[in-house]
Structure 1
Amino acid sequence: MHKLITLSSALLATAAVRAQSPNVIFILADDLGYGDISAFNPESKIPTPNIDNLTQDGITFTDAHSSSALSTPSRYSILTGRYPWRTKLKEGVLDGYSPAMITPDRRTIAQMFSENGYNTACIGKWHLGWDWGYPQNAKNKKDVDFSLPIKNGPTDRGFDYFYGIPSSLDIAPYVYVENNKVTALPDHIIEPQKGLGLMHGGVAGADFDPQDCLPNIIRHSIDYIDKQRNSKKPFFLYLPITAPHTPVLPSDKYKGKTTIGAYGNFVVMIDDMVQQIVETLKKNNQLDNTIIIFTSDNGCAPYIGVTEMEKQGHFPSYIYRGYKTDIYEGGHRIPLIVSWKGKFSNKISNSLVSLTDFYATFAQMVNHKLKTEEAVDSYSIWPILSKEGTSTRKDLVYESGKGYLSLRTPRLKLVFNGGSGGWGYPNKPTDLAQLPSMQLFDLEKDPSEKENIIHDKRYEQEIKEMTRLIRKYVKEGRSTPGAEVANDTEDKWKQVNIFMQ
Structure 2
Amino acid sequence: MKFQILKSFFLSMILINSIFGKNPNVIIILADDLGYGDCDPFNSSSKIKTPCLSKLAEEGLCFTDAHAASSTCTPSRYGLLTGINPARTGVLNTLLSRGESIIGEEEKTLADLFRSKGYRTHMVGKWHLGFSWDKQWTDQPLRGGPIERGFDTFFGIHSSAGSDPLCFVEQDRLVGQPTEPISISKYNIKGEKTEIRTQAAPGFSVEETTPTLLSRAIQKIEDHATNGNPQPFFLYYASPIPHQPWVPMKKIRGKSGLGDYGDFVMQLDWVVGEINQALKKTGLEQNTLLIFTSDNGTGPVAHKMMKAQGHASSEKFRGMKAHRYEGGHRVPFIAKWPGKAKVGTTSNSTINCTDFFATFAELLGVDPKEEFPTAVDSQSFLAALFEPEKRFPRLPMVHRLNALRVDDWKWLHPDRKTRFEKTKPEDYALYDLQKDPGEQKSLASEYPKLAEEFFETYKKFDQEIKLK
Question: Which letter does structure 1 place at the counterpart of 2:347?
Answer: S
Query: What aligned pairs does 1:22-421 form with structure 2 within 5 A after superposition?
Result: 22-89=24-91, 91-95=92-96, 98-132=99-133, 134=134, 141=135, 143-144=136-137, 146-191=138-183, 193-195=185-187, 201-229=197-225, 230-304=228-302, 306-345=303-342, 346-371=344-369, 373-387=373-387, 391-399=392-400, 404-415=401-412, 417-419=413-415, 421=416
Q: Once the two structures are superposed, what CA deviation does each residue of 1:361-402 show, in whole Å capped at 9, x if it has no partner?
A: 001001011135331000000011133976452321111xxx
Distance 1:451 1:13, change over 3 A: farther
CA distance in structure 2 between the partners assigned to 1:199 and 1:86 by the alignment: 38
Q: Residue 238 of structure 1: SS of its match in structure 2?
A: strand
Q: Once the two structures are superposed, what CA deviation does each residue of 1:405-432 show, in whole Å capped at 9, x if it has no partner?
A: 31102211110x223x28xxxx9xxxxx
Q: Residue 241 of structure 2: SS of its match in structure 1?
A: strand
Residue 494 of structure 1: aligned partner? none
2:458 maps to which of 462, 467, 470: 470
Q: Once the two structures are superposed, what CA deviation does each residue of 1:156-193 show, in whole Å capped at 9, x if it has no partner?
A: 00000000000112321112110011111222243464
The answer on whether the counterparts of 1:65 and 1:354 sit within 8 Å (CA) in structure 2 is yes
CA distance in structure 2 between the partners assigned to 1:198 and 1:19 by the alignment: 52
CA distance in structure 2 between the partners assigned to 1:201 and 1:95 by the alignment: 21
CA distance in structure 1 between the partners assigned to 2:107 and 2:89 by the alignment: 11
CA distance in structure 1 between the partners assigned to 2:244 and 2:432 by the alignment: 34
Residue 489 of structure 1: aligned partner? 467
CA distance in structure 2 between the partners assigned to 1:352 and 1:308 by the alignment: 30
Q: Residue 26 of structure 1: SS of its match in structure 2?
A: strand
Out of 324-333 and 343-352, give the one that drifted further. Answer: 343-352
Shift of 1:88: 4.4
Question: Which letter does structure 1 place at the counterpart of 2:455?
Answer: T
Distance 1:18 1:232, change over 3 A: closer
Q: Once the two structures are superposed, what CA deviation does each residue of 1:240-276 show, in whole Å capped at 9, x if it has no partner?
A: 1010000011111101211212111111111111111
Question: Which letter does structure 1 place at the counterpart of 2:414?
Answer: G
Does residue 440 of structure 1 match 2:437?
A: no
**Structure 1: 5+ residue stretches without partners:** 1-8, 135-140, 428-432, 478-486, 491-501
Question: Which letter does structure 2 place at the counterpart of 1:409?
Answer: V
Question: Which letter does structure 1 place at the counterpart of 2:169?
Answer: V
Q: Once the two structures are superposed, what CA deviation does each residue of 1:418-462 show, in whole Å capped at 9, x if it has no partner?
A: 23x28xxxx9xxxxx9xx732211111111111122222xx1221
CA distance in structure 1 between the partners assigned to 2:194 and 2:21 by the alignment: 46
Q: Residue 233 of structure 1: SS of its match in structure 2?
A: coil
Shift of 1:231: 1.6
Shift of 1:95: 4.1
Q: Residue 394 of structure 1: SS of its match in structure 2?
A: coil
Distance 1:216 1:93, change over 3 A: farther
Shift of 1:93: 4.0
Q: Once the two structures are superposed, what CA deviation does each residue of 1:294-313 show, in whole Å capped at 9, x if it has no partner?
A: 11000000112x33422332
CA distance in structure 2 between the partners assigned to 1:67 and 1:181 by the alignment: 28
**RMSD, aligned α-carbons:** 2.5
Distance 1:152 1:200, change over 3 A: farther
Q: Residue 168 of structure 1: SS of its match in structure 2?
A: coil
Question: Which letter does structure 2 place at the counterpart of 1:327?
Answer: R
Shift of 1:347: 1.4
CA distance in structure 1 between the partners assigned to 2:15 and 2:396 by the alignment: 36
CA distance in structure 1 between the partners assigned to 2:325 and 2:311 by the alignment: 19
Out of 169-178 and 30-39, give the one that drifted further. Answer: 169-178
Question: Which letter does structure 2 place at the counterpart of 1:113?
Answer: F
Question: Which letter does structure 1 place at the counterpart of 2:283?
Answer: N
Q: Residue 39 of structure 1: SS of its match in structure 2?
A: helix
Q: Residue 240 of structure 2: SS of its match in structure 1?
A: strand
Distance 1:307 1:295, change over 3 A: same
Question: Which letter does structure 1 place at the counterpart of 2:399?
Answer: Y
CA distance in structure 2 between the partners assigned to 1:462 and 1:14 by the alignment: 54
Q: Once the two structures are superposed, what CA deviation does each residue of 1:198-227 show, in whole Å capped at 9, x if it has no partner?
A: 676543211311011111110110111111
Distance 1:228 1:200, change over 3 A: farther
